Structure formats: C-alpha cells, structure tokens
Chain A
Amino acid sequence: MTTPSQHATVATGVTIASARQAVLDAFRKLHPRAMARNPVMFVVLVGSVLTTALWIQALGGGGEAPAGFIGAISLWLWFTVLFANFAEALAEGRGKAQAAALRKARGDISAKRLREPHYGAAHDTVSSGTLATGDVFLVEAGEIIPGDGEVIEGIASVDESAITGESAPVIRESGGDRSAVTGGTRVLSDWLVIRLTAEPGGGFLDRMIRLIEGAKRQKTPNEIALNILLAAFTIIFLGVCVTLLPFSLFSVGAAGHGSPVTVTVLVALLVCLIPTTIGGLLSAIGIAGMDRMIRHNVVATSGRAIEAAGDVDVLLLDKTGTITLGNRMASAFTPAAGISPERLADAAQLASLADETPEGRSIVVLAKALYGLRGREVHDIAGHFVPFTAQTRMSGVDIPSDDAPARSIRKGAAEAIKAHIEALGVVFPPDVQRTVDDVSRAGATPLVVVENSEVLGVIHLKDVVKGGIKERFAHLRKMGIKTVMITGDNPLTATAIAAEAGVDDFLAEAKPEDKLALIREYQRGGRLVAMTGDGTNDAPALAQADVAVAMNTGTQSAREAANMVDLDSNPTKLLEIVEIGKQLLMTRGALTTFSIANDVAKYFAIIPAAFVATFPALGALNVMHLATPESAILSAVIFNALIIVALIPLALRGVKYTPMHAAQLLRRHLLIYGLGGLVAPFAGIKLVDMLLTALGAG
C-alpha cells in the first residue's frame, strides 16, 4: 500500500533515481521517429549530425574551421537536444512513478463472485482478471475491491488512499450518491455487495495509470496551434540562414577580402534563432500540467479538458457542499401563536428521530440543548416513521395512542405543509407564514412543523457558508469568471446566501433539468461552463458542461459523464482546476515570448562574429564585447542550451498564478518574460563568454 507520505514524495519532488532514469530516457528519445514529432528539436538534431560530420572532416585536416571549434559547437548542439529530451523524460518520469504505485494496488487479486446477486449467496473464488461486467461479488473487511463497480447492498468504510492519497476512510453504501467503488481500494470494515461496471483493464484505475504514464497523451488544441507557429518560425529562420551563405559569398567578392561564413556558424545561428527554448520544453509543459492536476487529486480524461478549464467563463456551483458546509443546522424554533416553544421542540424532535440526515440530527440536538429534551430512541416509540419522499416533501412520525387521539407529526417545506393542511381544510396561519418569509429572507431554510392539523411553528435551518469562499469568488470575478449558485432553496433564501457567499448569480428551486437548461443557455451565448456533480441526476448536466468534474464519491454514471474526477470529492476543487488550466497556457505563452525575445541578443552575438572577417566594420555591432568570433558563437550556442535546463523547473512547476485582470496579467508577463527575454541573454551570453575566455577555450 502507498502511504500518504510516499505519495507526497512522488508528487512533489524529483528524486535522484528519477533524474537518472530521465537522463537515460533523454538518450533513448534521440530516435529520429520520436524527434520528428517536434519540428523545432528535429532541426537541432539534424544540425547536430551535420556539425558532427563537419567535425570528423575537420579532424581529417580538410575542415572549414578548426576541429576544436566545430567539435565544441557540435557537442553543445547535442546537449541542446538532450536537454530538451531530458525535460520531457523528467516530466514523464514523475507520472511514471505515480503510475507504478497505482499499479501495485491494481495487481491481480482474488474475488468472491456471488452466484446470486445478494448478501449471503454462495460464492466462487475467482481471479479478478476473469471478472466480467455485470458480475456481482462480495468484498469483506480487509479485502481489496477487485474492480470498479456499484454497491448494490451493504455499507462499509473503504480506504481509498491508493488513489486519493487521503488516509481517512470513506463510507460506501448502496443507493444514493455514494455507491461507486473503485478497483484497488480496500474495505476496512463491514462488507459490500458490488456489481462490476467496468471490464478488467478498463477500470478507473487503469485509465488513470494510462493517463499518468502519458501513453495516451494527445496534443491539446492550443498546443497544436502553437506547434504550427513554432514550425513556421523554424522554416523562416531556415530560409534566413540558408540564404546567408550566398549573401556572404557575394559580400566577400564585393569587399575583396575575408572568407565566406562557414556551415558550422550557419547551423549555430539557426539553432540559436529557432525557438528551441519553447520547442524543447513544450511537451514537458503539457505533461507537467496533467501531472499537476493529478497532484491535486484530479484525474482528467484528456489534456483538452485541462485546457478548457482555463477558458471557463461560468462556474455552476451546487450550494450545498461547495458554497456552504454540506449540512444545514437547526438554529432556532419559532412557535406559532399560542404554542409553547417546548411543545414545538418536542414535536420537532419526535418527527426527526428517524431522520438520519445531518439536518434531522441537528434538530434533535437543538431541542435537547434548548429545552433539555433527551433524544429518545427510535424503537422506544411505537410509532410509524414516515420518510421523506420527493412527492410529499415531508417527513415525520405517526404515533398511535390508546388513551388519546393518534399523533401525526410532519415537518417539511412551508409549501408542502401548507398544501398538506389545506387539504385537511385548515387555513395556514398568517403569523407562521410571516415567520417563514422572515427566515427565508435571512438566508435560512424554514421547516414547518405540524401536528395533525395544527401548525406548531417553524424550525430555522441555517446554512453555514464556508470560510474564505467569498474571497475566492472575488478572485474568480477578477479573472472574468462568473459564479452561479445552484440551489433547491426558494428564491428568498437563495438571495440571502448568494449575497453572503458573494456569488454573481443563482438559480433557485433548481431541478436537474433546470441545470441542464441553464448550461445550454450559457453555451448558446458562447460561454464555456464548468460544473461539479455527484448524483446520477447530475449526469446529463455533466455531459453537457464543457468542464465537468465528478466527485469520486459520486455515482458511476456521474463519473462516466464527467471529463474529470476529483478524488478528494471536494467541490471547491473546481477553482484549482481552473487555475491549473490557466497556468498551463500561461507557461507556454511565457516561454514562447521568452524564446522569441532571446533572438535579438543572439543576432548581436553571432552576426558580427560571422561576418567580421569580411567587413571588419561590423565589429561595431559586437555590443557585448565578446572576446573572439569563435567564443561569441560558442557562447550563444551554450547559452541557448543552458537556458533550456534553467527553465525546466519553470516548465514543470508552471508560471506562478495570481488572479488579476487579463490586461494586468499581460503587462506583468510581458515585463517578466518579454523584457526579461530581451535582456537576459545579453547578460547570459556575456557571462558564458567571460567563462570561456577565462578557461582559455575561446
């Protein structure tokens, strides 16, 4: 089993072992077929081979320049290719280590296949590899769940740390929204009867392993576009460098002295000019972005989804669990005119005894705290508990009595209770209606308690807005992302909570189909919508949303419909997902800008060096005062190679993200990466040149 601490190491650090593996992979990736996928680095590879051939020729004595110079250039060109490969291998390596840990969890295990789909039926012990979709099996405490499935019977605590890294066990039970289990996780207590929903090898864990390993990594739309642009730059610079040879030949003729520029120098110039910095790190950035998601315990089904996350315009957030703490708490009882608070509290407590929801329990606790009413046990009361149904929208208890009329207590939404008593021919008391409205307006949920046909009063159920959520929404607003709260509450309550949480808009009294309609409406307006969901009834909306994050605790259908799964089942994770998506694009943009801006300095290093023999006056362009033409060209090439290594951490970590307006963000990044890219190589090349001179290698 993976412990959380091991998991953390894999996720954050680059270990010695992984670096060693990456070095080996860097060489393995020199295969031309692998290189051809990246046109920029492929050109560098060709240049390396070409200069190596020239070096060998020079060793034989017939070289166009001293063998030492050609050899040095050639060596650093090889380094340039290897550094880029190393970056990619390093990014992949981090995922591979994680995948290895996951694979350990998945290993072939035995499963108890049930002959009948219910607890207690006879079972055969089979290998997990032979299970088929639809098979039903039993998993008991201490056993590993053999595959992805749906709990059809039982309740158990499950350790999912293998995939989430979270050590606290989670509850899995049949029915409801916590019925999905993942293969490779371990049942800690009790037992579960599970119906398999995924073929072996097609399970969630398997998909996750494949994604992490990068085996199925496809280029994302922006990456494709950027690759085209970089290829175009490469072709242009190829033209620039190739034509320089005839230009130089003519110039030598015109000047009457000097010698034409060498092929070695032209190759060096070409490699310096083409965008090797971004070209070399492009795939590492993409892999690292996927990896960052995984470290946040989010599994995306494609890189496309991560990129889309950065573009999201509208976030649809379920109120419960995302904006407010999952549970509403009873906070007060307001009795109807002529009813004592104790009577109301007593009735409320009775009606809630069988209500296992957190709200129900909080009513029991509040009644006890305020009026000392001890929580009676369910079986102490010879009553018949009426569960909540979507049709009645009420729950309660019927207590038959021999000496008195039977008590029928109900609690429920004001609308439901009103309908209930009006059906009995009783008018809903106006003072209670006022209380209901007041409670709603304050952002709480009113529950009305009625005994037989007498309205006793109102229970205040208060929503607790999560700490810090308002600030996060403010950040999102700065980024131009609109937050919409989805709630089943009535509009009055929703307004109050929306104001407290600072969301931009809300959808009250929302039904699942309303959510779907809202997404479609935003999309018609050209906006990209993200949402989280867990229940089966969320599946259509999840399928419609551009970025759909399913909770890992959710149902299998929700997880299928989504394009990301949050293993922590934390609905606020959506905010981090958006940030990671943006970070991914920003890192590419930053390195592209840096790469292009670098060219200015490289021109100033190489052009005078290449032509000073023909036109000594061009020495005036050697603004960096580089020691010799050879050291100038070599310095530019070395800088160009080293900058790739220097930027690997940035590529893997991503550009630091601070929420702000697009215009501010652009100014900041242009200053850092544009202006920085313009200036840095002047200093860097000069530094390398000084070092070379000091070492006597110039």
Chain B
Amino acid sequence: MTGNGTVQIVFFLVALIALGLPLGAFMARVYKQERTFLDPILGPVERFLYRLAGIDAAKEMDWKGNAIALLVFNALGFLVVYGLQRLQHLLPLNPQAFGAVSPDSSFNTAVSFASNTNWQGYGGETTMSYLTQMLGLTVQNFVSAATGMAVLALFVRGLARHSTKLLGNFWIDLTRSTLYILLPLAFVFAVGLVSQGVVQNFAAYKTVTLVEPVVDANGVANLTQTLPMGPAASQIAIKQLGTNGGGFFNTNSAHPYENPTPLSNFFEMLAILLIPAGLCFTFGIMVKDTRQGWAVFAAMAAIMVPLLLLAAWSEQGGNPVLASQGIDQTASPNQPGGNMEGKEVRLGVTNSAIWAVATTAASNGSVNSMHDSFMPIGGAVTLFMMQLGEVVFGGVGSGLYGMLVFVIIAVFVAGLLVGRTPEYLGHKIEAFEIKMASLLILIMPLTVLGLTALALLSEAGRATIFNPGAHGFSEVLYAFTSMGNNNGSAFAGLGANTPFYNSWGGIAMLISRYWLAVPTLALAGSLAGKRFTPQGDGTLPTHTALFVGWLIAIVILVGALNFLPALALGPIVEHLHLTL
C-alpha cells in the first residue's frame, strides 16, 4: 500500500469517529423524544403527521404490535414500488418513454428497495422513469432505512428497560428517523454532491457532438454522445446514508455523474458508515453505559480495518496476468497503479478498496468500482464482509441489532465460561433468547448456501454466469450472499436480470430482512420483560478489550467459518491459481 493510501484510510476512520460521535448523541435524543435544535421546524410537521395518521404519541406497543406495524408498512411500500414500475409507461415524468418493467424484475426491485437491499437487476438510466425513481425508489430509500432504525430503537429499548412489555412505538420511531435524521442529513449531502458535479435536474438526456467520431462494430460512425440527466444527487445522498446503495445510474458510484471527484467520493464513503457507526454510540447512550457502545464499535472496526488493509494491499499488488505482459502496475506519483480493471483513475486503488470494504461491511451495496474485476483476495474480502451477516456496521439499524445478537451469543458462552448464568446489561440470557438468537444466525447461511446450490444445479441459474472457472462460482455465491444479506452489491458480470435470479433473489431478500426483523423484535420483547439483574464482580463485564476480542472471535467463528468451503472453491482457489 502507498503512503498516501494509508493517510487516506486513517483520515477516513478519524472522520468517521469524529462525526459519528455527535451524530450518535443527536440520534439518542431523537429516540428518547428529547428536544433537538430541529424541533422548531420539524415539531409541528411531526405532530401534524401523527394527527393525520391517528397515532397517539403517548402510546407504546409490545413487540407484536410493533412487528405488525412494521410488516403492514413494508407490505404497502412494496405494493407501491411494484405498481409504479408496472405502470410507469402510463405515468408522467418519463421523458425517455421507458416501457413497463417486467413482472419478475418489478417484484425483485420492489422487494429490494422495501427491504433496504437495493440490489439492482436493472440499469437505472435505461429502465426507470424519473417518477419511479422519485416516488418509488427514493421514498423507499428513506423509509426502508427508517424501518431498520426504528427496529433498532425498539431493540435497544428492550435492552435498556426491565420488567415491561412495551418497547416503544414503531410509527413514532419511523417518523422521527425520517424527519429528524435522514431528511436533514440527506439534504446537506445532496447539495454537497451537486457542488462537486453530481447532476440534479428534471431535463431530458442531453446530446453533445463528439470531438472525434466513434465507429461502432458495424462500421457506422457515431457523431454524438448522450449525457444522462435527472434528479441524481437527491437520490445518491440518501442511498449512501440509508445503506441502500441503489444507484441512479447503472454503474452506481463509479459513474462520473454519481461520484465526480475524490471529495464527493469521500463524502459518499463517509455517508455509508456514518449512521451505522453513530448508532453504536446512540446505543451506548440509550442503555446508559457509553462504554457498551464503544465496545460494539471497537469490535466492528477491529474486524473491518484489517480486512480493509488486506483488500487494499491485494488490489495494489496488481494482476500477475497483466504483469506478465510487461504492464506497469507500480504505484508512483504519476499513477495509482495496481489492479485498475473496473476502477476509476480519480479514485484509484485505495479509495476503491475502502469503498468496497465499507459498502460490504455496511449492507450498503453501492460500488465505486467493479467488484467482479477485483483480485481474488479483494473479492474474497467483500464476500467475507457480507458473510459475517452484515453485522460489521451493517445496514442502518439492522447491522447493530445483528451485532447485538452476536453479543448475546458471545455473552452466553462467556457467561458459562465464568460459571454464571449469562447476563447482558442486567438481562439474564436464557433459553428463549438463545432460541431467537439461534434462529437469527442460522437463517442467513442456510438461505445463501441453499440458493447458491439451487442456482448451480439449475440450467437457468448457470446460464447467465459470465466469468469462466472458479470465478463463475464466485459470481453466483456473491449474488445470493448479497441478496441474502440485504447488501445489494454485485459481481456484476452475472446476468441477474432473469426470472430465476429476480424471483429467488427476491425471496432471499424477503427472508433476510423480515425473518430477521421479527425474531429480533421478539427477542427485544423478551429482554424487556426481564427483571433487572444488578452487576457485580461475578458479572462478566462486556466493555473490556477481552470481551471485544471474544465477540470478534464469535462473529468470525460462527458467522463466517460456515462459508470457508465455499470461499475455498471460489476466490481462494482462484487466488492460488493466479499466484502459484
């Protein structure tokens, strides 16, 4: 890795903590319904919405009530996005006159955006009308993120409370997440992105005259180039902040109109991890022990940073195949060097690696370089980050509650090790908690491995594999790893816009979002109902470096070891072939 690369990585992490801390404190105020500086403007809006929706702001619900609210709201969101796609040819704001989206693709996209996955089987600039992008996709970018944050707020209250059934009110957490956190942040980021060159308009695509005509395969000369337009900045800001990741354009944040400069790239990378990191601190404040928040943050960072360095090192090393052709892949002041296939010059290897690891750590899924063209180790890192269960920062809200489930398992085993019925934050961990936690950790690997196997066994699944050999296996594994973890990034060579991948992928996304969210709420309900167990010298402290180390070991042993055989048949063997 280069010296400048190291500086960029360190600066990124420092900025993340420096901004995550105050944001975390602010979000804690939002979820504790305390006064914030935005109240004078947003307070009346909030109260008006509650009156309109018939929500009693003083009324809290138990876990079941909240779970039903979540499912009803998300089901409606799904229907709207599905309907908009199927009918977009009849609706306004469609200057390119795109036709209706196919049923399977519409299903996949609707699930994808409602579930905060934002897997995109389609190319944005060739498929979706502005209306679909705005009313369907942008709205879901907000509310699917807010859904995850609301579930987290309910879960954390379950950990903070004792001897009660009530977790809070999903509607209120949803509304406040959107109004107080996502909307203001998105506006600031969007305007910042426009300043860097991200487009934001409602104009039709522009045509410009080329400086030098381009001759296509049939010998026909093209004299013009089409420049895509649209309200991109407003969507990009929220897709980054809400760990959505669904790009406005096909190549996502590799596209110069989506991510024009190193500075815009820095903002967008920061936005990927900002809320997930901040929520760690919010959690600490809400359970009245900030050390707990730091411990979880430390575990996440300690998993991510070494893998980030590994990926950056691997990409900077370049491709031996190119080296054999005498290509200069060495970094120098005049060139970034390294494996540049699928990467942009302005971003280079370091920023591509940081982004790739951040976007797969968080279940964001946006990309600024093509993961399919990464070196095997770099690609393996992105796969591995997702296979950890999207708990290293993870999706907004969902990542932290996923990590807290691992904390509960780590506490359970560690509690046995010190000879005491395990307890976390004053809650005894008993059979029901372990049952829910087990359910939560076993669904993901079974879904991902099962659907990958199904794809490899079926003609339809194998038909659209792009790369030959072990890399082709990685493409399929990546697709279901991504959808089965609500990530949304892709080894994009795989032709995923087929009925097979659209349907099964949609099911994977449904399972990984809702099958997880509902037991999580049940777990929260059970934790909240427990009598308070005070901490003493016999209680295992959960904020120490030792516990953080143990948590990391559990996440890796339980979360990722399951994928070792699959990784061996994909990127690991590819790496060995390349280097041996």
Shortest CB-to-CB span from A140 to chain B, Å, is 48
Shortest Cβ gap from A423 to chain B (Å): 48
Instruction: Report A539-583 residues with CB < 8 Å from chain B CB.
Output: 581-583
Q: How far is the CA of A607 from the CA of B564 in the complex (A)?
A: 9
B51 interfacial by beta-carbon distance below 8 Å: no
Structural contact, B421 and A662, CB atoms closer than 8 A: no
26 contacts between A and B (CB under 8 A): A221-B431, A225-B434, A226-B412, A226-B434, A232-B441, A235-B442, A236-B445, A237-B562, A243-B453, A246-B456, A254-B473, A255-B469, A255-B470, A310-B421, A478-B537, A479-B538, A526-B426, A527-B533, A585-B415, A592-B416, A596-B557, A600-B561, A610-B565, A611-B568, A661-B537, A662-B538
B421 adjacent to A248 (CB under 8 Å): no
Chain A 583-594 interface 0/1 with B at a Cβ cutoff of 8 Å (1 = within): 111101110110
Binary CB contact string for chain A from 234 to 257 against chain B (1 if under 8 A, 0 otherwise): 011101101111111111001100
Q: Top 7 closest A-B pairs, CB basis? A: A480-B538, A589-B416, A582-B419, A480-B537, A232-B438, A589-B417, A617-B576
Q: Which of B414, B418, B537 gathers the greatest number of chain A CB atoms within 10 Å?
A: B418
Give the complex CA separation of A481 and B534 in angstroms: 12
B435, B439, B449, B454: the one contacting A239 at CB < 8 Å is B449
Residue interface bits B531-547, CB-to-A below 8 A is 1, else 0:
11110111111001011
State which residues 241-287 of A face B: CB under 8 Å: 242-251, 254-255, 269
A240-B449, A250-B456, A618-B568 given; A228·B431 CB < 8 A: yes
* B558 contacts A by Cβ under 8 Å: yes
The interface residues of chain B lying within 8 Å CB-to-CB of A479 are: 537-538
At the interface, yes or no: A477 with Cβ under 8 Å from chain B? yes
Binds B, one of A43-51, A147-155, A182-190, A668-676: A668-676
A399 shortest CB reach to chain B, Å: 57
The answer to whether the Cβ of B150 comes within 8 Å of any Cβ in the partner chain is no
- The CA of A552 and the CA of B456, in the complex, are separated in Å by 68
Nearest-Cβ distance from residue A519 to partner chain B, whole angstroms: 15
Please indicate the chain B residues that have their CB under 8 angstroms from the CB of A419 in the complex: none
A307 x B421 contact (CB < 8 A): yes
* Docked complex Cα distance between A478 and B537 (Å): 7
Q: Which residues of A contact B536 (CB under 8 A)?
A: 313, 480-482
Chain B residues lying within 8 Å of A251, measured Cβ to Cβ, are: 470, 473, 569
| CB pair A236 B562 closer than 8 Å | yes
- Bound Cα distance from A226 to B415, whole angstroms: 11
Distance, CA A584 to CA B420, complexed state (A): 9
Nearest B residue to A224 via CB reads: B431
In the complex, the chain B residue whose C-beta lies closest to that of A312 is B538
Given A228-B438, A663-B540; A657-B419 close (CB under 8 Å): yes
Is the C-beta of A160 less than 8 angstroms from some C-beta in chain B? no
With an 8 A cutoff between CB atoms, is A365 at the interface? no
Question: Measured between alpha carbons, how far is A665 from B550 in the docked complex, in Å?
Answer: 13
A608-629 vs B, CB cutoff 8 Å, 1 = contact: the mask equals 1011000101101100000000
Q: Does A373 contact B (CB under 8 A)?
A: no
**Of all chain B residues, which has the CB nearest A247?**
B569
The proximity string for A residues 84-99 relative to B, scoring 1 for CB distances below 8 Å and 0 otherwise, is 0000000000000000
6 more CB-based (< 8 A) A-B contacts, given A235-B446, A254-B468, A657-B419: A233-B558, A526-B426, A526-B531, A585-B416, A620-B576, A621-B572
- CB-defined contacts of A477 to chain B, threshold 8 Å: 537
B453 touching A254 by the CB < 8 A rule?
no
Task: Tell me, yes or no, whether A696 is within 8 Å of chain B by CB.
Answer: no
Q: When the two chains form their complex, are residues A673 and B417 in contact, meaning their CB atoms are under 8 A apart?
A: yes
Give the number of chain B interface residues (Cβ < 8 Å).
67
A586 touches B419 (CB 8 A): yes
CA distance A662 to B541 in the complex (A): 8
Contact across chains for B417 and A593 when beta carbons are under 8 A apart: yes
Q: Is A583 a contact of B442 with CB atoms below 8 Å?
A: no
Residues on A with beta carbons closer than 8 Å to the beta carbon of B569: 247-248, 251, 611, 615
Contact A311 B453 (CB under 8 A): no
Q: Once the chains are docked, how many angstroms separate the CA of A250 from the CA of B417?
A: 42
Query: Is A30 part of the binding interface, using a Cβ–Cβ cutoff of 8 Å?
Result: no
Cα-based distance from A132 to B38 in the complex (angstroms) = 79
B453 to chain A, nearest CB (A): 4
- Complex CA gap A188/B557 in Å reads 62
The residue in chain B whose Cβ has the minimal distance to the Cβ of A592 is: B413
Q: Assuming A235-B442, A662-B539, is B534 touching A247 (CB within 8 A)?
A: no
Q: Is the pair B540, A666 in contact by a Cβ cutoff of 8 Å? A: yes
Q: Which residues of A contact B532 (CB under 8 A)?
A: 525-526
Q: Which residues of A contact B541 (CB under 8 A)?
A: 662-663
CB distance from A142 to the nearest CB of B (A): 46
- Would you call B561 and A603 a contact (CB within 8 A)? yes
- Nearest to A581 among chain B residues (CB) is B419
Q: Tell me if A489 is interfacial: C-beta within 8 Å of chain B.
A: no
Task: Give chain A residues whose Cβ lies under 8 Å from the Cβ of B537.
Answer: 477-480, 661-662
Inside 8 A of A599's CB, which chain B residues have their CB?
557, 561
Given A221-B421, A236-B442, A247-B565, A667 and B546 touching (CB < 8 A)? yes
Q: What's the minimum C-beta distance from B302 to chain A, rounded to whole angstroms?
A: 16
Flag if A236 contacts B446 (CB, 8 Å).
yes
Contact pattern, A 477-501, Cβ under 8 Å of B = 1, otherwise 0: 1111110000000000000000000
Proximity bits, A641-672, B CB within 8 Å = 1, else 0: 00000000000000001000111011101100
B429 part of interface (Cβ distance < 8 Å): yes
Contact present for B557 and A247 (CB under 8 Å): no
Q: How far is the CA of A160 from the CA of B537 in the complex (A)?
A: 39
Q: How far is the CB of B412 from chain A (nearest CB, A)?
A: 7
In the bound assembly, the distance between CA atoms of A620 and B430 in angstroms comes to: 43
A247 touches B452 (CB 8 A): yes
**Which of A222, A228, A526, A588 meets B533, CB within 8 Å?**
A526
Which of B439, B553, B566 neighbours the largest number of chain A CB atoms within 10 Å of its CB? Answer: B553
Cβ–Cβ contact A593 & B531, under 8 A: no
B426 cross-chain contacts in A, Cβ below 8 A: 526
Of the residues A249, A310, A590, A593, contact of B456 by C-beta under 8 Å = A249
**Is A231 engaged at the interface, CB distance under 8 Å to the other chain?**
yes
In the complex, chain A residues whose CB is within 8 Å of the CB of B572: 618, 621
Interface residues as binary, B430-471 with A (CB distance below 8 Å gives 1, 0 otherwise) = 110111011101100110011011101100001000001110
Q: Is the CB of B565 within 8 A of A607?
A: yes
Q: Is B472 an interface residue (CB 8 A)?
A: yes
Q: Does A597 contact B (CB under 8 A)?
A: yes
Q: Could you mark each residue 473-484 of chain B with 1 if its beta carbon is under 8 Å from any beta carbon of chain A, else 0?
A: 100000000000
Residue among A228, A481, A525, A603 facing the most chain B CB atoms (10 A cut-off): A228
Complex contact B419–A585 (CB within 8 A): yes
Residues in B neighbouring A249, C-beta threshold 8 A: 456-457
Are A662 and B453 in touch, CB under 8 angstroms?
no
A229-B434, A247-B569 known; A310 and B420 CB under 8 Å?
Answer: yes
Chain A CB within 8 A of B211 CB: no
Within 8 A of A (CB), among B517-534: 531-534
Contact B418 A669 (CB under 8 A): yes
> Do B538 and A590 have beta carbons less than 8 Å apart?
no
List the A side residues contacting B59 at CB < 8 Å. Answer: none
Known: A228-B431, A586-B417. A250 touches B473 (CB 8 A): yes
A621 to chain B, nearest CB (A): 7
Q: In the bound complex, do residue A589 and residue B413 qualify as a contact, i.e. CB atoms below 8 Å apart?
A: yes
Per the bound structure, the CA–CA distance linking A596 and B412 in Å amounts to 14
Are A246 and B442 closer than 8 Å at their CB atoms? no
Decide: A663 and B544 in contact? CB cutoff 8 A.
yes
Given the known A-B contacts A244-B565, A526-B426, A607-B568, are A615 and B449 also in contact in the complex, defined by CB atoms under 8 Å?
A: no
Shortest beta-carbon distance from B445 to chain A in Å: 5
- Asked if B331 lies at the interface with its beta carbon under 8 angstroms from chain A, I say no
Whether A586 lies near B418 (C-beta < 8 A) is yes
Task: Tell me if B550 and A617 are in contact (CB < 8 A).
Answer: no
B206 in the interface, Cβ–Cβ < 8 Å? no
When distances are taken between beta carbons in the complex, the residues of chain B under 8 Å from A224 are 431
CB proximity of B423 to chain A, nearest CB, Å: 9
Option from B441, B445, B456 in Cβ contact (under 8 Å) with A240: B445
- Residue of A229, A313, A610, A670 touching B409 (CB-CB under 8 A): A229
Residues of A within 8 A of B580 (CB): 617, 620
- In the complex, A666→B548 CA distance in Å? 12
